[in-house]
Amino acid sequence: MIEHSKYDAVVFDWDGTMMDTTALIVKSIQHAAREMGIPVPSDEVASSIIGLDWRNALRIAVPDLPMERAMEFGEHYQAHYVPNEKRVFLFPGMAELAKELKASGVAVAVATGKSRRGLNRILETTGLTDLFVTTKTADECTPKPHPEMLEEISIETGVDKSRMVMVGDTTHDLFMAKKFGCDGIGMTWGAMRAEELLKAEPVALVKNAEELRRLLGGE
């Protein structure tokens, strides 16, 4: 049990950090590309865009896609993603860790590249809606790695950046933290390898919820 956290606010990314959605996102992007008859991105390219807003993600993953057809691409993506979302699970120990943090008085929040609609749907499915003091999505704020999500969370919670940490599995999360001026912790079980995450200079890399719990608890 965490009794005294090193931080007053812990902000979690969602895809690839709280929930093991990386493979499903990749497959859904590849499915949509095939359906539209454009070059299918590799697993590495498709996973690299996780956490970005939709249009910037498409420019990287499927550069041959005309932006006026982005909505059509999104429809094909959702047709594959949504029916399979119920087969995806939270990473072991992450919900329990977030509950421990909340019980210890820490403000627990989410900053995600998901849409508000998508985040609300999965929070309802997992029953975690009331766990977070606030949540920020890419269609409500300037997308990662811009620090607006963290700026708004800091204002809403009253927690200074010196007492806040961003936990994420991509450099988009960690560069966001760096631009805001708070600590960043990289989770190595998500979309990017450790060597990629290190480019954003996180204060630590962890490979599972237990390692993260010890780090946040100051052990």
Residue 51's pLDDT is 84
Three-state DSSP at 111 gives strand
Spatial CB neighbours of 84, under 8 Å, sequence gap ≥ 6 = 24, 27, 28
- Dihedral angle sign, alpha carbons of residues 35, 41, 43, 48: negative
| Tokens standing for residue 210 | 């237990």
At residue 148, what are phi and psi to the nearest 5 degrees? -60, -40
The answer on pLDDT for 2 being more than 80 is no
Residues 163 and 150 in one domain: yes
- The structural domain count of the chain equals 2
CATH number at residue 62: 1.10.150
Residue 172 lies in domain: 9-21+89-216
Answer yes or no: is 78 within a domain. Answer: yes
Residues 132 and 98 reside in one and the same domain: yes
**Same-domain status, 97 and 169:** yes
Last residue of a domain, one of 31, 50, 85: 85
Predicted confidence at residue 55, as pLDDT, reads 87
Q: Which positions are annotated as active-site residues?
A: 13, 15
Same domain for 185 and 94, yes or no, is: yes
In DSSP terms, 108 is beta-bridged to: 10
Same domain, 97 and 205: yes
Statement: residue 218 has pLDDT above 80? no
Record the pTM.
0.90
Per-residue pLDDT, 123: 95
Beta-bridge mates of residue 15: 19
- Flag whether 167 is in a domain: yes
